Amino acid sequence: MHWTDVRKTIDAEVKRIWSVESADITRLRMGICHGQAGSFGQYFSTLVFALTYTLALGEHVVYGLVKGADNEKVPLDALKELSKEHFVVGFRAPMFVGYVLAPKAETFAEDIVAALDSVTTREDFKALLGSYFTYQNILHWWLHVYFPWSLGGVFEQVDAARIATLQQLIK
C-alpha cells in the first residue's frame, strides 16, 4: 500500500470523527468494551487507559516522530525505523489503544509501517505521521471531554490542619 492511500484512509476517519463522536468513544463511555478490557466487571480502568494512552501515543510518541522530521541531523531512514520500533515492536502502544478503545488505531499503525517503504521525503513522512497524530489527538480530546472528572472530589487533598484534627480525634 502506498503512503498516500494510508493517509487518505486516516484523514477520512479524522474528518468523520472531528465533530461527531466516534462509535468507539460512545461504546466505551457507555460501558461496552469490545475486547472485554477492564477487570472485575468495571470499565473505569479501561477509560483511564484509553485516555492516557491516546495522549501518550499522540502527543508524545507520534508528535516526536513528526518533529524529528524537521531535524536534518536525523536521517529519514532512522525516523522510519523509530516508527517501526514504536508501532510494532515491544509494548506496541497502538495495539493497546486498539484493545482498550479503537481497533483502527492498531490497523492504521500497521498500515503506516507497511507503507514506510513508499515514503521518500521528510515532507511525506510528516504528512503521513501527521495524519495519525491528528487521529490520536481527536480520540484523546473526545475522551477528555467525557471523562468523569467529578470523581476527583472523593480524592480530596489533605493539609496540615486536617492531619492535626485527625490526630486529635484518634487520641
Give residues with Cβ within 8 angstroms of 7, minimum separation 6.
127, 128, 131
Residue 161 lies in a domain: no
Torsion, CA 77, CA 82, CA 87, CA 93, rounded to 10: -160
Q: In whole angstroms, what is the distance from residue 52 CA to residue 46 CA?
A: 10
Residue 157 lies in a domain: no
Residue 164 lies in a domain: no
Residue 121 lies in a domain: yes
Q: What pLDDT, in 10s, does the model give residues 32-45? A: 887 777 778 888 99
**DSSP per residue over 42-62, as a string?**
--HHHHHHHHHHHHIIIIIII
Residue 35 grid cell: 475486547
**pLDDT mean over 44-69:** 94
Indicate the number of domains in the chain.
Answer: 1
pTM (2 d.p.) = 0.89
Residue 169 lies in a domain: no
Residue 162 lies in a domain: no
Q: What pLDDT, in 10s, does the model give residues 2-32? A: 999 999 999 999 999 999 999 999 999 998 8
Residue 159 lies in a domain: no
Residue 16 lies in a domain: yes
Domain, as residue range, for 142: 3-147
